[in-house]
Amino acid sequence: MTNAPRVGVLALQGDVAEHARMLRTCDVEVQPVKTADQLALVDALVIPGGESTTIGMLADREGLLNPLRERIASGMPTLGTCAGLIFLANELIDSRPDQVSIGALDAVVRRNAFGRQVDSFEQDLEIQGLATPFHAVFIRAPLVEKVGQSVEVLATLASDKIVMVRQANVLATAFHPELTGDNRVHQMLCESIFTEK
């Protein structure tokens, strides 16, 4: 598998193992990313769900904020899920004063838009580009309140609640695709590696 693309998983906090397991079903090499040197080695990146404030603080402490901004701005395919969506957004609602985001996605995102952990739910979603519904898991999920002109909406709940978007090389979901047996969202990321090259 030496010629396979290498996909990084930002391994500071959150669902790192679950994303790595899902990516391995896509025939790619998986690289945990905790440093700028490791980030330089990957062709694409997953920013996992977890605690968005913690992920931002740890990325800042490890000197990863600017390297992440630069790699994503230069076209590196990136998937952010749940907390990863929050971390990618350029504007946040209901965030803590010390919340850090990298501003790679032209979107306004509300943290914990669906309530607390006990309000978690699952729902089948129609996702643009997928032939059949995707069973999505929402846990303390954010919501995309508004998108810029360059952002494509790929999935909504009840026709108006935006839960999946794409902007150029950035793909982001409010749900946790790594917690299902369905690798199609991860495949969308992996296929975009070849589109960007």
d(C-alpha 30, C-alpha 185), whole Å? 16
Instruction: Check 176, 190, 191, 196 and give the catalytic one.
Output: 176
Instruction: Check 18, 19, 82, 186 and give the catalytic one.
Output: 82
Nearest to 162 by CA among 140, 147, 177: 147
Amino acid found at 130: L
Residue 178 known to be catalytic = yes
Query: Taking the C-alpha atoms of 113, 115, 121 and 123 in order, what is their torsion angle to the nearest 10 degrees?
Result: -20
Are 122 and 144 in contact by the 8 Å Cβ rule? The answer is no
Residue 82 known to be catalytic = yes
d(C-alpha 180, C-alpha 4), whole Å? 24
d(C-alpha 102, C-alpha 86), whole Å? 9
Residue 190 known to be catalytic = no
* Structure-token pair, residue 67: 């390297």
Instruction: Check 178, 186, 191, 196 and give the catalytic one.
Output: 178
d(C-alpha 43, C-alpha 77), whole Å? 7
Residues serving a catalytic function are: 82, 176, 178
